[in-house]
Amino acid sequence: MNEARQAGRRDGRISVEIDRLSFSYGRDGHRLVDVSLAVREGEVCALLGPNGAGKTTLLRCLLGLLTPAGGDIRVLGTDVSRLSARQLARLVAYVPQSATTPFPFTALDMAVMGRTPHISVTSAPSAADRRAALAQLEHLGIGHLAHRAFSLLSGGERQLTLLARALVQEAPVLILDEPTSALDYGNEVRFLDVVAELVRTGRAVLMTTHQPSHALTHADRAILMRGGAIVADGSPEDVVTSDRLSDLYGVPIHVAQVPLPGGHGRTQRTCFPVPSRAEPRSA
Amino acid sequence: MSDVHSGVRKYDPPEGESTFSDPPHADRTPPRLNAQNSSRLWIGILVLCLLALTLLSFGLGGYPLGPVTVIRVLASRFVTIPVTWPQTAATVILDVRLPRILAALVVGAALSSSGAAYQTMMRNPLVSPEILGVAAGAGFGASLGILLGFSASVLQVMAFAFGLLAAVASLAIGRVVGSVSPIVLVLGGVVVGAMFGALISATQYFANPDTTLPEITFWLFGSLGRATNGGLVAPAVIVGVCLAALYAVRWQLTVLATGEDEARTLGIDRRVVRTVVIGASTLMTATVVSVAGIVGWVGLVVPHLARSFVGPSFGRLLTVSALIGAGFLLAVDDVARSATTQDLPLGILTALIGAPFFVALLVRAGRQWL
């Protein structure tokens, strides 16, 4: 990320503010301990951490799917525990890892569902809502799939449909839970490019990912979690380092600065696991 | 960001091609009838078919009548027209066939609509009022009411109470097992249905063979033979109100069909929707069980047929399920009352037609459901 962009983002209004949040599943122990973070307008924030670190639990608390044991979550200054599902849905939109339904909904059917919090509870989406959903599908390059069965689309197409649904929801905060886990490498990059574009309209994006490189290439902020607590929070350059990643995931990981091809001296950080043949197990 | 993009990672898709198709789909979906327009067309066609079938049904039976006579007799109830028909024709149409036809329309529409609602809410194409044990529960409520000599209105309340109990018990079994997969729900319903089936047998065992036993047996076979114009008013009103309630939550329920958590993030209050759906569907099922006894398979099969016409969006699905269900049950009842000199039990006919039809559906879509 270039410096100008970083500087611009720091001035953004705070969209999501989480303050000393804790959560536990029954007596199984705490899943979130004193988690505090803020996501600003126009910022893509990547949440990294090993399995069971509490990333998804944190997102589910923010989405109102879990009730925290303590702490506050504020979206645009409003305490979410005081909001109805409908009010929250106007502020926070969600793109799940994947969606399944046994019924043959079309891609357009799925996308237009994003209009739900904006229409009266006893009515159905209008022709204008359907046009808006279709326009969003077209904007994401899948307009020609609008009348196809959602369940028969490829993983990439389905994920884009779910993104279209979240976008027609017109919420200032977008939550993505490992949105690229079902995508091939090319679609992964394209999907993240689209997400990075979205924040230009002033949205705030919080996403979990299992790929630390996503934080380096597509995020403005990186937050590292382990054992239900935040262990690091800052710009990807500062936070996503060889030491921190190796420590976080328990395997040797190297972060390197590499020149971009034809980049006139520009560089990009990237990370990769250190191959075991270069680092004998006895070491 | 922008300069990084312009250099290496920028991807220029060929004109008009989706950047996300893997592999790129060569075939473009041809412009076709908008889903809403095409479903309006279906609804129009079905309404016309239903009207024609209703007219035909009035003429059918041991005392055949032409459609013109039928229309004139029915119209004479509302406008003054010269009487050109024998009094027998008026009696047959208004007192014999009208209640039976109305009952078939109400029962068929109610069973299909509640089946469509249960299937959509549980995201499970294998459930229906019978499979969830609701019909057996309502049948037991009615049987118990007959055994204890209660009046018709108390029977209806008991049918509803035990139908609701059965629905809740089926859902609770899924909860206890910790899974709401189609198979667990179906198994839960089978267990609850078997329980209430045993209780129905118990009421038969204890019933008086001369008075209450034939009465109970009538419920189990399913028949419209005892419908009367006066007795249909309350059930028709209840079914109408329930259909209106389901129609009011049509979009909320459609969104719920894509997953509970996702529906919550789209602003759905699932407790409200679930309460409306379970309440309305169970009340409708119990009401028609108290009118016609246990008429199986309609609630399972008709919604599938409707979905293949207008898709899964619940507003259209509800309308078309009700129309097809009403027409289907009317046609089957026409066969039941005119195929032989004696009334055939309706529930037996619907099972004989519905079961093979369901096997055909399973063969077509089975793998997706399991």
Q: State the DSSP string of chain A.
A: --HHHHHHHHTSPEEEEEEEEEEE-TTS-EEEEEEEEEEETT-EEEEE--TTSSHHHHHHHHTTSS--SEEEEEETTEEGGGS-HHHHHHHEEEE-S----SS--BHHHHHHGGGGGGS-TTS---HHHHHHHHHHHHHTT-GGGTTSBGGGS-HHHHHHHHHHHHHHTT-SEEEEESTTTTS-HHHHHHHHHHHHHHGGGT-EEEEE-S-HHHHHHH-SEEEEEETTEEEEEE-HHHHS-HHHHHHHHSS-EEEEEEEPTT-TT-EEEEEEEPPTTTS-TT-
Residues of chain B in contact with residue A169, where contact means CB-CB under 8 angstroms, are 266
pLDDT given for residue B151 in this prediction? 86
Q: Which of B152, B135, B183 is nearest to B281 (CA)?
A: B135
Rg (CA), chain B: 24
Nearest to B257 among A65, A101, A116 (CB): A101
Residue of B32, B247, B266 for testing the chain A interface, max A β-carbons within 10 Å: B266
pLDDT given for residue B188 in this prediction? 87
- Put simply, the answer to whether B311 touches A106 (Cβ < 8 Å) is yes
pLDDT given for residue A1 in this prediction? 44
Name the pairing type of β-strands A14-24 and A30-40. Answer: antiparallel
pLDDT tens-digit profile, chain A (283 residues) = 444 444 444 567 899 999 999 998 776 666 899 999 999 999 999 999 999 899 999 999 999 999 999 999 999 999 999 999 999 999 999 999 888 888 889 999 999 999 999 999 999 999 999 999 999 999 999 999 999 999 899 988 999 999 999 999 999 999 999 998 888 888 899 899 999 888 888 899 999 999 999 999 999 999 999 999 999 999 999 999 999 999 999 999 999 999 988 877 888 999 999 887 655 555 4
Residues of chain B in contact with residue A186, where contact means CB-CB under 8 angstroms, are 22
Query: Distance between CA B274 and CA B312 in Å, rounded?
Result: 18
pLDDT given for residue B23 in this prediction? 41
pLDDT tens-digit profile, chain B (370 residues) = 344 343 333 334 444 444 444 444 434 444 444 666 788 899 999 999 999 999 999 999 888 999 999 999 999 989 998 888 999 999 999 999 999 999 999 999 999 999 999 999 988 887 888 878 888 999 999 999 999 999 878 887 898 899 989 988 988 887 887 766 667 777 888 899 999 999 999 999 999 999 899 888 877 888 898 888 988 999 999 999 999 999 999 999 999 999 889 999 999 998 899 889 988 998 999 889 888 888 989 999 999 999 988 999 999 999 999 999 999 999 999 999 988 888 888 988 999 999 998 888 778 765 555 4
Nearest to A99 among B18, B262, B264 (CB): B262
pLDDT given for residue B15 in this prediction? 43
Nearest to B20 among A84, A187, A266 (CB): A187
CB of B88 less than 8 A from some CB of A: no
Nearest to A85 among B21, B264, B369 (CB): B264
pLDDT given for residue A27 in this prediction? 65
Bridge partner residues of A16 (DSSP): A39, A75
List, as ranges, residues 285-304 from B with C-beta within 8 Å of A: none
Query: Distance between CA A146 and CA A168 in Å, rounded?
Result: 14
What is the pTM (predicted TM-score) of this model? 0.87
Residue of B20, B34, B121, B251 for testing the chain A interface, max A β-carbons within 10 Å: B20
Query: Distance between CA B308 and CA B224 in Å, rounded?
Result: 29
H helices of chain B, in order, are 2-4, 35-59, 67-75, 87-91, 98-121, 134-147, 152-177, 182-206, 212-221, 229-248, 250-256, 260-265, 270-292, 298-310, 314-338, 346-369
Residues of chain A in contact with residue B364, where contact means CB-CB under 8 angstroms, are none
Supply the DSSP symbol for B33.
-
Question: Distance, in angstroms, between B104 CA and closest chain A CA?
Answer: 29
Task: Match 């000199």 to its residue by tokens.
Answer: B341
pLDDT given for residue B62 in this prediction? 85
CB of B319 less than 8 A from some CB of A: no
pLDDT given for residue B10 in this prediction? 39
- Asked if A205 and A179 count as a contact pair (C-beta separation under 8 A), the reply is no
Residue of A113, A175, A190 for testing the chain B interface, max B β-carbons within 10 Å: A113
Supply the DSSP symbol for B13.
P
Query: Rounded to the nearest 5°, which phi and psi values hold at A182?
Result: -100, 10
What CA dihedral angle connects B361, A148, B20 and A160, to 10 degrees? -90
CB of B255 less than 8 A from some CB of A: yes
- Put simply, the answer to whether B4 touches A2 (Cβ < 8 Å) is yes
Residues of chain A in contact with residue B311, where contact means CB-CB under 8 angstroms, are 104-106, 109
CA atoms within 13 Å, Cβ hemisphere of A141 = 21
SS3 B282: helix
Q: Which residue in chain B has the smallest CA separation from A169?
A: B266
In terms of C-beta density within 10 A (0-12 exposed, 13-18 middle, 19 or more buried), how is residue B76 classed? middle
Residues of chain B in contact with residue A1, where contact means CB-CB under 8 angstroms, are 1
- Asked if B122 and B185 count as a contact pair (C-beta separation under 8 A), the reply is yes
